[in-house]
Structure 1
Amino acid sequence: MNEALAAQRRGDTDTLVLQALVRKLVAKGVLTQDDVRSLLFDAAKQMNEVGSEQTDQAAWCMVDQDLAPAFLREG
């Protein structure tokens, strides 16, 4: 298996494990959905999609449309 394919598979696995972990923590009451949304917002603010830090509005859109549904199984 070439390195690029192995790295992609590892990234996919890492993502799935992280999503499952977050769901378990929410189910056990360790994190609330608001806690998760806040963490996702903090991460989204750091994403450099167009060459500079995200605006709050763009970060919240990313959380609501892409990140929260993946981590909280919404929508």
Structure 2
Amino acid sequence: MAHYGMEQRGRPNSPDYRLYFKNADGKYISPFHDIPLFAGSKEDKEIPAKRSKTTGTDVLFNMIVEVPCWMNAKL
């Protein structure tokens, strides 16, 4: 499974606070487009796998986010 990291910039809870996602190579990525919504089918850190659609060895998750146009409230 790929590993992802985050880089924080600015002071938390301030208007200039930013959070950037990085892949295992340290390159900046989009959390919406570059991180797949897959989870392993085995138990991980004592957390059982979710019951959902399976595609081969992965469990596929579906996600719906209802953010009004021109808003970023859930980021």
Q: Is the TM-score greater than 0.5?
A: no
Tell me the TM-score normalised to structure 2 length: 0.28
Structure showing the higher strand proportion among its residues: 2
Q: Which protein shows a greater Rg?
A: 2
Q: What is the TM-score when the length of structure 1 is the normalising length?
A: 0.28
Q: Give the number of the structure with larger relative contact order, counting CA–CA contacts within 8 Å between residues 6 or more apart.
A: 1
